[in-house]
């Protein structure tokens, strides 16, 4: 009985999170694309210098952040993949989406404050330790996007 | 208080320096949030509780940095940087630092 439980619970989780993960990924992709379309007029760059003809009236730091975590399915596949090493493809899409989400939130914050230009944008990633398992597991990964928003004279 | 992560404040000139100012805070969510996040960890995706926690903490760190700059008589902080570190189980330190300056 106990053995059946020990096998079926992970197996069900594995299968369920495979499908839920895919559904969430597709939905998030759609939301991100819609958000990015809305911010098409937003000028975001990682360089600090801006054209000298810009007349800057007001500046402020704008931030966007998100904490994400992988699902059970991806963690299991990741652990198995690490035996042979190489590219851990299952881990890549979530981080890519987290960066887009952080950037998008930064742009939304800038827009809410009336800015349309952001320069010197930086992206940072930090791992958050789990509060259980002696802090060994990873509770999540935080992605932060920040930059200096500029308001130009009309 | 003007804040930017560029080396100068665009459109203004720096006339005085007041050294490095910083603000930090270490925070943790209550156990309920941790349990929720633990469950969410199975399903994956965004851990909203933690996003909020870090967001609030970062604002707090920024606020402390600004207070320090005000104390020194600065009217702007340039070249602001943020850092997040996992100092203990389930706790995170949010740190903001920059150079306090007077601009005209």
Residues whose CB is less than 8 angstroms from the CB of residue A61 and which lie 6 or more positions away in sequence, other chains included: A146, A147, A148, A149, B3, B4, B5, B62, B80
In the predicted model, what is the mean pLDDT of chain B?
89
Q: Is A20 on the interface with B (CB under 8 A)?
A: yes
Per-residue pLDDT reduced to its tens digit, B8-21? 998 899 999 999 99
Q: Is A50 on the interface with B (CB under 8 A)?
A: yes
Mean pLDDT of A108-129: 93
Find residue B93's DSSP bridge partners: B26, B85
**Among candidates B31, B50, B55 on the partner chain, residue whose Cβ is nearest the Cβ of A140:** B50
Residues 118 to 147 of A: which have CB under 8 A from any B CB? 119-120, 122, 124, 126-132, 134-135, 139-140, 142, 144, 146-147
Q: Give the predicted TM-score (pTM) of the model.
A: 0.89
**pLDDT at residue A48 above 60?**
yes
Mean pLDDT of A74-87: 87
The per-residue pLDDT for B21 is 97
Distances in whole angstroms, Cα of residue B36 to Cα of each of A21, B26, B47, B66: 18, 20, 9, 34
Chain A / chain B CB contacts < 8 angstroms:
138
Chain-chain contact of A130 with B6 (C-beta, under 8 angstroms): no
CB atoms within 10 A of CB A79: 10
The per-residue pLDDT for A134 is 54
The per-residue pLDDT for A37 is 95
Chain-chain contact of A120 with B58 (C-beta, under 8 angstroms): no
In the predicted model, what is the mean pLDDT of chain A?
89
Nearest CA-CA distance, residue A1 and chain B, Å: 24
Mean pLDDT of B27-44: 74
Distances in whole angstroms, Cα of residue A117 to Cα of each of A124, A143, B26, B27, B81: 20, 21, 32, 32, 19
More confident residue, B23 or B92: B23
CB atoms within 10 A of CB A2: 6
Angle, alpha carbons B14-B16-B17 (nearest 5°):
100
> What is the share, in percent, of chain A residues with pLDDT greater than 90?
51
The per-residue pLDDT for A43 is 94
Confirm if A128 and A67 have CB atoms less than 8 A apart. Answer: yes
The per-residue pLDDT for A29 is 93
DSSP state of A130: -
**Among candidates B10, B62, B89 on the partner chain, residue whose Cβ is nearest the Cβ of A131:** B89
The per-residue pLDDT for B59 is 94
Q: Is A148 on the interface with B (CB under 8 A)?
A: yes
Residues whose CB is less than 8 angstroms from the CB of residue A9 and which lie 6 or more positions away in sequence, other chains included: none
The per-residue pLDDT for A109 is 96
Instruction: Give the ipTM of the model, two decimals please.
Output: 0.88
Residue of B nearest to A63 (CA): B55
């Amino acid at each position: 009985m106990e053995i059946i439980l020990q096998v079926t619970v992970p197996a069900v989780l594995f299968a369920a999170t495979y499908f839920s993960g895919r559904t969430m990924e597709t939905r998030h992709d759609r939301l991100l694309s819609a958000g990015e379309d809305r911010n098409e007029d937003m000028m975001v760059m990682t360089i600090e210098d801006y054209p000298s003809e810009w007349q800057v009236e007001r500046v402020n730091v704008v931030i966007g952040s998100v904490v994400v975590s992988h699902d059970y399915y991806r963690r299991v596949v990741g652990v198995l993949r690490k035996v042979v090493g190489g590219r851990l493809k299952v881990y890549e899409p979530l981080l890519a989406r987290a960066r887009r989400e952080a950037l998008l939130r930064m742009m939304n914050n800038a827009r809410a404050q009336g800015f349309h230009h952001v320069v010197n944008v930086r992206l940072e990633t930090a791992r958050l330790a789990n509060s259980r398992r002696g802090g060994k597991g990873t509770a999540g990964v935080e992605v932060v996007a920040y930059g200096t928003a500029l308001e130009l004279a009309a | 208080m003007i804040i930017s992560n560029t080396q100068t404040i665009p459109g203004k000139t720096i006339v005085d320096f007041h050294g490095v100012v910083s603000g930090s805070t270490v925070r943790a969510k209550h156990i309920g949030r941790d349990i929720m996040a633990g469950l969410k960890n199975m399903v994956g995706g965004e851990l909203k509780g933690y996003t909020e926690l870090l967001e609030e903490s970062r604002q707090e760190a920024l606020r402390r940095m600004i207070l320090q700059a005000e104390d020194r008589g600065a009217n702007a902080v340039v070249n602001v940087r943020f850092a997040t570190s996992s100092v203990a189980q389930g706790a995170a330190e949010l740190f903001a630092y920059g150079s306090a300056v007077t601009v005209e």
